[in-house]
A and B are shown apart, each in its own frame.
Chain A
Amino acid sequence: MSFSLAHALTGLFWLGALLLLGGLARRASLWQQGRSASVSWLGLLAMPKRYFVDIHHVVAREPAVARAHVAAAGGGVAILLLSALNYGLMLYQGWLDVLLVLMAALMLLGARMMQARRLQAPPRLSQGRWQVLPARLRLFALGSLLAAGLLFAGPQLGMAGQLIAVVALLMLALGGAELALGIGLGWPMKHAVAGLLHLAFHPRAERFAAKSSDLKPLNLAAGELGVAKVEDFAWNRLLSFDACVQCGKCEAACPAYAAGQPLNPKKLIQDMVAAQSRGTDPAYAGNPHPGREAAVMVQPGEDIVGSVLAAETLWSCTTCRACVENCPMLIEHVDTVVNLRRHVTLSRGEVPGKGSEALANLRNTDTVGGYPLAVRYHWAIDLDLPLLQPGEQTEWLLLAGEGAFDMRYQRALRALVKVLKAAGVKVAVLGAAERDCGDVARRLGDEAGFQRLAQANIATLAQYRFARIVTPDPHVFHCLANEYPALGGQFEVWHHSKLLEHLLARRAIPLKADATPLPPLTFHDPCYLGRYNDGYHAPRNVLKGIGIKVVEMPRSGRDARCCGWGGGAAFTDIPGQRRIPDMRMDDIRETGTGRVAVACPNCTAMLEGVVGERADVIELAELVAERLA
């Protein structure tokens, strides 16, 4: 009997392997709908590092889940490898059976832990097949345990032994079906195969080397106008959607979802899966886009926006990257949102709300608000701020950005200039030669407008001589530092928080000597400084440097909630249940400090725009200026 059980296992193994390969071929044909992409096959070699280091960084934030996954997945993979050796290659070694028993026990433990978690599943987790997956995995592990145990026990099996062998085979077949058929039928275990391939052929492979948050330019000359249909995605982008494990961490982090706007990033990714699989995968069993039906109508050949995805979903996104930051499968939601927006904006010209007005202003005046360029530095008229002339030299070039037109933010800009002067920093401005950086245009999908502005700015800046650029606007900072290089503009750009930190560290800013402790406050991280550029420490060090204690909000640093402005969301203004800045003000109120420090003109405007009782909103530079001797 033991002989035949071993052979049955060999048969089962190869059957499973064939089914898996067939399923993979079917899924790969779906990915092949996409455009070609330049990927490196070396990614396959880098896969283990990406799995154990990069994914671990994200997963380790939830240690219990991480442990369960290590046990279940580690055990599972070990079982598959050992079975491949012992039964696939028909070695039939007893010592391998011992190892198999151990690994099966490990997997059993992991699956058990997962099942326990599923009993009180947080609402962000998908139900449906995902809910029963741990039980199936347990079945598989138990089957392995029994089969390997029997084989190790010896060739003579009694009646009872034979019965157990049959049961074990049944368990293996049932549980193993989950593993073997997952990729082909779009069942949960699809994530294991697609996830590994996604790591190897990630559409943003540079993120494994260093921080990478820039949007990639479209080749407009070649007729690239964003993604209209599934076929317009790169194939590895389609693959990345299949890696999603529907854990809903993106959903839990998304400010638009929390505000009841019709966007759930998890559902967005699943909508893309539905579009590429033409609705053949099992139905989605998670939370819908708020206020919308969960079911989607997939019409092959139709544009994505307007069929599987409503335009409002797309325009609700603030591009805050909270989803990307939290995704354990390293899926890049923002790239997809912007790629789809590009089609809607560039091809259809359908930007909602005040978005189209902002884009028209940029085209006609090079400013978002439609202001004359000549008035950008009117706030500095009495500050004796040198206007840089072509050919002249300065150490620091200050780009004030769009905040220069806002009377509230002009106070912050004046404070910044005052501090820089007190510190003896040689700083000059461009005056009317400064155009908008193109951030709003790019996030609203107007890639043509962005490239025009970026190229014009790069050409302008080339006429001047300066060592570094400093700006208080994280959007200007991000564009110039991270997105202009792809268009040929290489500049050393500092956010003003970094410059202030640097000056304070060198004791270059003369501070009041009195030791009266200042009241504590809380700090709101701008997305484009924090998650986009890891600029978490500089503003906090500045506050520490002037003797202010920061009371952190629970959602701060990497987990900070967006103010609601980013991605042009303040212009498209898609209605929800609440406003995002109101929710953020609640976070601020909870700290009980009554004051919040900000480091971005747009956060300033959004948080000051909260109606009713609210905390004082103070810019970083204003706080430093208050402490000047």
Chain B
Amino acid sequence: MKIAVLVAPAVHPVSGRPCAGEADLAALALAQRLSSQVDVWYAGAADDAALADYLARGADNIHSLSLSPGSDVLAALCSVLQGVDMVLCGARAGGGDGSGLLPYQLAEQLGRALLPDVLDLSKSDQQWQALQALPKGVRRTLAAKLPLVASVHARAASAVGWSYARLQQGKIQRKAATGAALPQVVLEPARRARALVAASKVSGHARMQGAIAGGEGKSAGIVVKQGDSVEKAQVVLDYLRQHQLVDF
């Protein structure tokens, strides 16, 4: 199976220096776990030094499509990704102006399914199953057939450590490419956010009292003052079980 991984330099949040993006690194690690035929692609105007981190962290060879600054990378990437079974990229570029749109645009242009924000991919029957990361730790399983595009979540495992030897051996091959102009950005005035209205106007202290006092039968709170620590813990555990907040 031929996999293409798309990478781009990230901006370090403290120093502003170019470095590898977490999501792109995770995509690289995932690709190397799945296949031995992995090609790494970059499109844009960054110089080789900005891509060095990817060499040091496992990419033997990066194909760099040199575009002039400010051009759209979509067309250039699509032209080299046609024959590839699986395209993996970070869900969004690390730092900078990344809109996170690229995976969607790629899937649309290449006419493939997109598995967004995946943590892991595994094969079952003829399909590829993805474990998708949703906010607040929620996980969901998606599936699609090859060829496909998957964007990898920044929290997916990136196992390969940074190695000076790999940095020295790695190569960046520049290829000339033509980028299209970025589509015109339409700026709209921001819509005013609706002000939040509190459900009740009582103070925080009063609400806390309401939650724990429970004397007037107003809330379900219990205050446990009797018993030793084990009995008290049992009450908490029962409560958590009752509300299915723990499952043991």
Q: Taking CB as reference atom, which chain A residue is nearest B167?
A: A448
**Minimal beta-carbon separation of B226 from chain A (angstroms):** 32
Q: Residue-by-residue, is B145-165 near A (CB-CB < 8 Å gives 1, otherwise 0)?
A: 000000000000000111111
CA distance A370 to B15 in the complex (A): 9
Known: A349-B56, A349-B57. A360 touches B15 (CB 8 A): no
Q: Residue-by-residue, is B184-195 near A (CB-CB < 8 Å gives 1, otherwise 0)?
A: 000000000000
**Minimal beta-carbon separation of B177 from chain A (angstroms):** 29
Instruction: Determine if A534 is an interface residue (Cβ-Cβ < 8 Å).
Output: no
Instruction: Determine if B19 is an interface residue (Cβ-Cβ < 8 Å).
Output: yes
Kindly list chain B residues whose C-beta atoms are within 8 Å of the C-beta of A348.
161, 163
Secondary structure at the A interface, as helix, strand, loop or mixed, is helix
Known: A365-B14, A371-B14, A372-B14. A225 touches B19 (CB 8 A): no
Q: Taking CB as reference atom, which chain A residue is nearest B163?
A: A349
Q: Is the CB of B17 within 8 A of A364?
A: yes
Q: Is the CB of A347 within 8 A of B14?
A: no
Kindly list chain B residues whose C-beta atoms are within 8 Å of the C-beta of A225.
164-165
Q: Is the CB of A366 within 8 A of B15?
A: yes
Q: Taking CB as reference atom, which chain B residue is nearest A371?
A: B14
Give B163-189 interface residues, CB cut-off 8 Å to A.
163-166
Instruction: Determine if B12 is an interface residue (Cβ-Cβ < 8 Å).
Output: yes
Q: Is the CB of A356 within 8 A of B164?
A: no
Q: Is the CB of A365 within 8 A of B165?
A: no
Give A216-239 interface residues, CB cut-off 8 Å to B.
220, 225
Q: Is the CB of A346 within 8 A of B164?
A: yes
CA distance A347 to B164 in the complex (A): 6
**Minimal beta-carbon separation of B74 from chain A (angstroms):** 29
Q: Is the CB of B14 within 8 A of A349?
A: no
Q: Is the CB of A364 within 8 A of B162?
A: no
**Minimal beta-carbon separation of A213 from chain B (angstroms):** 25
Kindly list chain B residues whose C-beta atoms are within 8 Å of the C-beta of A194.
none
CA distance A235 to B159 in the complex (A): 36
Partner pick for A364 among B14, B56, B161, CB 8 A cutoff: B14
Give A307-356 interface residues, CB cut-off 8 Å to B.
345-351, 356
Kindly list chain A residues whose C-beta atoms are within 8 Å of the C-beta of B164.
220, 225, 345-347, 349, 446, 448
Q: Residue-by-residue, is B7-23 near A (CB-CB < 8 Å gives 1, otherwise 0)?
A: 00000101101010000
**Minimal beta-carbon separation of B54 from chain A (angstroms):** 13
Instruction: Determine if A363 is an interface residue (Cβ-Cβ < 8 Å).
Output: yes
Kindly list chain A residues whose C-beta atoms are within 8 Å of the C-beta of B161.
348-351, 356
Q: Is the CB of B160 within 8 A of A365?
A: no
Kindly list chain B residues whose C-beta atoms are within 8 Å of the C-beta of A220.
164
Give A360-387 interface residues, CB cut-off 8 Å to B.
360, 363-366, 370-373
Q: Is the CB of A363 within 8 A of B162?
A: yes
**Minimal beta-carbon separation of A541 from chain B (angstroms):** 41
CA distance A15 to B161 in the complex (A): 56
Q: Is the CB of A370 within 8 A of B165?
A: no
**Minimal beta-carbon separation of B10 from chain A (angstroms):** 10
B contact residues, range: 10 to 19
Known: A346-B164, A372-B14. A364 touches B57 (CB 8 A): no
Q: Is the CB of B15 within 8 A of A365?
A: yes
Partner pick for A349 among B15, B19, B162, CB 8 A cutoff: B162
Kindly list chain B residues whose C-beta atoms are within 8 Å of the C-beta of A345.
163-164
Secondary structure at the B interface, as helix, strand, loop or mixed, is loop
Q: Taking CB as reference atom, which chain A residue is nearest B166?
A: A349
Q: Taking CB as reference atom, which chain A residue is nearest B58?
A: A349
CA distance A243 to B22 in the complex (A): 48
CA distance A533 to B68 in the complex (A): 54
CA distance A364 to B14 in the complex (A): 8
Instruction: Determine if A359 is an interface residue (Cβ-Cβ < 8 Å).
Output: yes
Kindly list chain A residues whose C-beta atoms are within 8 Å of the C-beta of B12.
364-365
Q: Taking CB as reference atom, which chain B residue is nearest A447?
A: B164
CA distance A351 to B163 in the complex (A): 10
Kindly list chain A residues whose C-beta atoms are within 8 Å of the C-beta of B160.
349
Kindly list chain A residues whose C-beta atoms are within 8 Å of the C-beta of B56.
349
**Minimal beta-carbon separation of B175 from chain A (angstroms):** 28
**Minimal beta-carbon separation of B158 from chain A (angstroms):** 11
Q: Is the CB of A364 within 8 A of B15?
A: yes
Q: Taking CB as reference atom, which chain A residue is nearest B15?
A: A365
Kindly list chain A residues whose C-beta atoms are within 8 Å of the C-beta of B166.
349
Q: Taking CB as reference atom, which chain B residue is nearest A372?
A: B14
**Minimal beta-carbon separation of A432 from chain B (angstroms):** 11
Kindly list chain B residues whose C-beta atoms are within 8 Å of the C-beta of A370.
14
**Minimal beta-carbon separation of B225 from chain A (angstroms):** 31
**Minimal beta-carbon separation of B229 from chain A (angstroms):** 22
CA distance A220 to B168 in the complex (A): 10
Give A196-228 interface residues, CB cut-off 8 Å to B.
220, 225
Give B17-57 interface residues, CB cut-off 8 Å to A.
17, 19, 56-57
CA distance A579 to B57 in the complex (A): 32
CA distance A77 to B194 in the complex (A): 96
CA distance A365 to B19 in the complex (A): 11
**Minimal beta-carbon separation of B92 from chain A (angstroms):** 19
Interface centre among A345, A350, A356, A363 (most CB of B within 10 A): A363
Give B68-111 interface residues, CB cut-off 8 Å to A.
none
Q: Is the CB of A372 within 8 A of B165?
A: no
Q: Taking CB as reference atom, which chain A residue is nearest B53?
A: A363
Q: Is the CB of B163 within 8 A of A347?
A: yes
CA distance A349 to B12 in the complex (A): 20
**Minimal beta-carbon separation of B240 from chain A (angstroms):** 30
**Minimal beta-carbon separation of B26 from chain A (angstroms):** 15
Q: Is the CB of A346 within 8 A of B165?
A: yes
Q: Is the CB of B165 within 8 A of A347?
A: yes
Q: Taking CB as reference atom, which chain B residue is nearest A347?
A: B165
CA distance A366 to B12 in the complex (A): 12
Q: Taking CB as reference atom, which chain B residue is nearest A359?
A: B162
CA distance A220 to B19 in the complex (A): 22
Kindly list chain A residues whose C-beta atoms are within 8 Å of the C-beta of B17.
364-365
Kindly list chain B residues whose C-beta atoms are within 8 Å of the C-beta of A448.
164
**Minimal beta-carbon separation of A484 from chain B (angstroms):** 20
Partner pick for B19 among A346, A350, A364, CB 8 A cutoff: A364
**Minimal beta-carbon separation of B29 from chain A (angstroms):** 12
Q: Is the CB of A360 within 8 A of B14?
A: no
Give A168-220 interface residues, CB cut-off 8 Å to B.
220
Interface centre among A345, A349, A372 (most CB of B within 10 A): A349
CA distance A359 to B19 in the complex (A): 13
CA distance A305 to B50 in the complex (A): 32
Kindly list chain B residues whose C-beta atoms are within 8 Å of the C-beta of A359.
162
CA distance A508 to B12 in the complex (A): 46
**Minimal beta-carbon separation of A552 from chain B (angstroms):** 43
**Minimal beta-carbon separation of A357 from chain B (angstroms):** 10
CA distance A386 to B161 in the complex (A): 41
Q: Residue-by-residue, is A445-457 near B (CB-CB < 8 Å gives 1, otherwise 0)?
A: 0101000000000
**Minimal beta-carbon separation of B148 from chain A (angstroms):** 30
Kindly list chain B residues whose C-beta atoms are within 8 Å of the C-beta of A365.
12, 14-15, 17
Partner pick for B163 among A346, A363, A364, CB 8 A cutoff: A346
Q: Is the CB of B15 within 8 A of A372?
A: yes
Taking Cβ atoms with an 8 Å cutoff, the residues of A that contact B are 220, 225, 345-351, 356, 359-360, 363-366, 370-373, 446, 448
List 3 A-B pairs, minimum CB-CB distance, nearest first.
A349-B161, A349-B163, A347-B165
Using A220-B164, A347-B165, A349-B161 as known contacts, list a sample of 14 further A-B pairs with CB atoms less than 8 Å apart, ordered by residue number in A.
A225-B165, A345-B163, A347-B163, A348-B161, A348-B163, A349-B160, A349-B163, A363-B162, A364-B14, A365-B12, A365-B15, A365-B17, A366-B15, A372-B14
A sample of 30 cross-chain residue pairs with beta-carbon separation below 8 angstroms, ordered by A number, consists of: A225-B164, A225-B165, A345-B163, A345-B164, A346-B163, A346-B165, A347-B163, A347-B164, A348-B163, A349-B57, A349-B161, A349-B162, A349-B163, A349-B164, A349-B166, A350-B161, A356-B161, A363-B19, A363-B162, A364-B12, A364-B17, A364-B19, A365-B12, A365-B14, A366-B15, A370-B14, A371-B14, A372-B15, A373-B15, A446-B164
